Amino acid sequence: MKKNDDLTKDTPELTESGQSRRRFMGAAALAGVAGATGLGTAVMSRESFAAAAEEARNKYVVHPGELDEYYGFWSGGHSGEVRVLGVPSMRELMRIPVFNVDSATGWGITNESKEVLGASSRFSNGDAHHPHISMTDGRYDGKYLFINDKANTRVARIRLDVMKCDKITTIPNVQAIHGLRLQKVPKTRYVFCNAEYVIPHPNDGSDTSLENSFTMFNAVDAETMEVAFQVIVDGNLDNTDADYTGKYACSTCYNSEKALDLAGTMRNDRDWAVVFNIERIEKAVRDGNYKTLGKSKVPVVDGRHGSELTRYIPVPKNPHGLNTSPDGKYFIAAGKLSPTVTIIAIDKLDELFEGNIEPRDTVVGEPELGLGPLHTTYDGRGNAYTTLFIDSQVCKWNIADAIRHYNGEDVNYIRQKLDVHYQPGHNHASLTESRDADGKWLVVLSKFSKDRFLPVGPLHPENDQLIDISGEEMKLAHDGPTFAEPHDCILVRRDQIKTKKIYTRDDPYFASAVDQAKKDGVTLEADNKVIRDGNKVRVYMTSIAPQYGMTEFRVKQGDEVTVYVTNLDTIEDVTHGFCMVNHGVSMEISPQQTASVTFMADQPGVHWYYCNWFCHALHMEMRGRMIVEKA
């Protein structure tokens, strides 16, 4: 096989057939769908796509001691977590466990995290896809970040003041929450989320046919995290977004054929973008025009074809991404199996719902961009940036010119195509989902990396690429290897996030521990004592660097032991830990926080516990013993 000796050079590695990797991968990706779509293969450019301009590199470098301009929140994909990065440096700052078990913080181990996880704590996996930040008047307010779990049909909320998940809701009546976006105005009242797969109702094994199967669009109350309503739709839902009036949401929908096989899902000429009239849906619920399914009390309304609550706009086959332009004028749906995206004029939706125009009359443009368009983001200057999965490119195009071209004018709407490495999925420009889109940075999340980094075995890292879009030309500034399919990200200005330096003692995060201590007559900030309640033992201890308030306690074999630790330190970076050796127990306790963990003392003998978060020069000496007496 012919290879480059220097993997930083611009020339793509060649396959044994002499094809460039880009051509080879493009042909392979198209092989299964070319016959159904008529797309064929494309001739790919061999222009340079490795080196960024020096100007762009200088912009992304953030020197030691300096702060990034943006927080970036990345979905952790199959890891189930959210990752916090600084942008433009792309330095990883923190990992927020959500749908996963994390031994560093004790997430999924502590009582507080299990309370948040609820019944779904039995799952140790997650598939985190779409992180989005709450808004007020179409601008990020920095209060919450929401993210979905496709694997176990959940939606989570993260408090951004402490960067901890505080609510997780399992969505009833559906399976596999995928697309998720937020109501933008007047504030984020609803979290809109799509369930992708159709299931029968009731789903009790008595009927597994597709006759009585469907999926639903869901709205979750952002404050209570309870499901407000569900809307039955035709087809499989994919991605979604909301407008800037609070009136409409729109979702891409594939498998209009309601088929189970791949060929069947591509039989029709078109699928749909489904528009939801939120005001009409809310009225239907208020008027009692809904039903419930199974044991769930969530109002369910019918939004299938013919409903007054929805409209179905035909778009090219198997559409994927759905993104609202920051000026609030358009929903743009990406074609995936078509080289086009569809521009839907939001100001025409009132006429559509009144029956004055046909669904396709809302389409004001359908520019052809390249092979495999998936997601679109914006710079706030009238330009859109769409990832082309099969072409391994980002296409920069002008929305107004694309509309003029659709109306018959001879105008070139494509501004630039930039090679990325490789097979990009989501992309995200700074502040793009808000009114404040500033057109400075674009992050492209590429599914493959191949020759970009040191080889690490058969499982390759993926590649997050940072692109400077502040000028007329896109310039690649940075490659960043990343793990486990980080699906999407969002960028918010650093001044829009207000974090706490230490916990307050009335924080609701450990309210249950406070309540239990009151019942036991214990003051968490002062007492170190053991409370025995039959075979349940509650151990209360304080911690202040470098020692625990209790360095030994005794229990009996077979006792259920709950340890509460309250960190009395008030210095912002003095975090303590509690790890009980050989018991699968560890947790983090930040300054002024109380955390607790429950385990069985089933092994008689001496068992050491220690601080597993470095806190002091005498950190190694911060320890104690649990003595378990034989039953």
**3-state secondary structure labels for all residues of 272-340:** EEEEEEHHHHHHHHHCCCCECCCCCCCCEEECCCCCCCEEEEEEECCCCCEEECCCCCEEEEECCCCCE
pLDDT at residue number 266: 87
d(CA 397, CA 39): 21
What are 241-286's pLDDT values in tens digits? 999 999 999 999 999 988 889 988 888 989 999 999 999 999 999 9
d(CA 389, CA 592): 48
d(CA 120, CA 114): 9
Q: What is the mean pLDDT of the chain?
A: 91
pLDDT at residue number 53: 53
Highest CATH level, class, for 511-629: mainly beta
Phi and psi at 359, nearest 5°, equal: -55, -45
Residue 37 pLDDT greater than 50, yes or no:
no
Q: Which residues contact 14 (CB under 8 A, 6 or more apart)?
A: 1, 2, 3, 20, 21
> Is residue 94 within 8 Å of residue 107, measured between CB atoms?
no
pLDDT at residue number 4: 32
Neighbour-count burial of 262, counting CB atoms closer than 10 A to its CB (0-12 exposed, 13-18 middle, 19+ buried): exposed
Phi and psi at 349, nearest 5°, equal: -70, -30
> Is residue 343 within 8 Å of residue 330, measured between CB atoms?
yes
Name the H helices within 357-427.
399-406
pLDDT at residue number 376: 98
Residue 599 pLDDT greater than 90, yes or no:
yes
What are 333-387's pLDDT values in tens digits? 999 999 999 999 999 999 999 999 999 999 999 999 999 999 999 999 999 999 9
Residue 546 pLDDT greater than 80, yes or no:
yes
Neighbour-count burial of 343, counting CB atoms closer than 10 A to its CB (0-12 exposed, 13-18 middle, 19+ buried): buried
Side-chain-facing half-sphere of 539: CA atoms under 13 Å: 28
Residue 523 pLDDT greater than 50, yes or no:
yes
Q: Which residue's structure tokens are 């075995």?
A: 457
Residue 46 pLDDT greater than 50, yes or no:
no
What percent of the chain has pLDDT above 70?
91
Residue 48 pLDDT greater than 60, yes or no:
no
pLDDT confidence band for 57 (50 / 70 / 90):
low
What are 9-19's pLDDT values in tens digits? 333 333 333 33
Q: Which residue's structure tokens are 């070319």?
A: 34
Neighbour-count burial of 280, counting CB atoms closer than 10 A to its CB (0-12 exposed, 13-18 middle, 19+ buried): middle
pLDDT at residue number 211: 81
Q: Which residue's structure tokens are 């080889």?
A: 455
Domains of the chain, residue spans: 70-170, 183-320, 511-629
The three state secondary structure string of 532-546 is EECCEEEEEEEEECC
- The tokens of 518 are what? 């009151």
- State mean pLDDT over 592-615: 97
d(CA 465, CA 52): 11
Out of 35-39, 317-321, 379-383, 482-486, pick the least confident.
35-39
Residue 21 pLDDT greater than 70, yes or no:
no
- The tokens of 82 are what? 């959210």
Q: Quick one: which of 473, 391, 376, 497 has its CA closest to 428?
A: 376
What percent of the chain has pLDDT above 90?
86
What are 114-156's pLDDT values in tens digits? 999 999 999 999 999 999 999 999 999 999 999 999 999 999 9
pLDDT at residue number 103: 96
| DSSP character at residue 449 | -
Residue 49 pLDDT greater than 80, yes or no:
no
> Is residue 113 within 8 Å of residue 99, measured between CB atoms?
no
pTM over 0.85: yes
pLDDT at residue number 24: 41
> Is residue 570 within 8 Å of residue 561, measured between CB atoms?
no
Q: Quick one: which of 421, 369, 417, 376 has its CA closest to 25?
A: 421
pLDDT at residue number 210: 85
pLDDT confidence band for 28 (50 / 70 / 90):
very low
Out of 215-219, 268-272, 327-331, pick the least confident.
268-272
The three state secondary structure string of 549-576 is CCCEEEEECCEEEEEEEEECCCCCCCCE
pLDDT at residue number 61: 86
Residue 392 pLDDT greater than 50, yes or no:
yes
d(CA 121, CA 492): 30
Residue 43 pLDDT greater than 60, yes or no:
no
pLDDT confidence band for 484 (50 / 70 / 90):
confident
Count other Cβ atoms within 10 Å, centred on residue 65.
5
pLDDT at residue number 54: 66
In terms of pLDDT, which residue wins out, 34 or 274? 274
Count other Cβ atoms within 10 Å, centred on residue 288.
8
pLDDT at residue number 582: 97
Alpha-carbon dihedral angle through residues 302, 303, 309, 312, given to the nearest 10 degrees: -160
pLDDT at residue number 382: 98
Out of 32-41, 299-308, 562-571, pick the least confident.
32-41
pLDDT at residue number 430: 98
pLDDT confidence band for 541 (50 / 70 / 90):
very high
Residue count of the chain, please give it.
Answer: 631
What are 559-570's pLDDT values in tens digits? 999 999 999 999
- State mean pLDDT over 406-426: 97
The string over 382-410, giving b where at least 16 C-beta atoms fall within 10 Å of a residue's C-beta and e elsewhere, is: ebbbbbbbbbbbbbbbbbebbbebbeeee
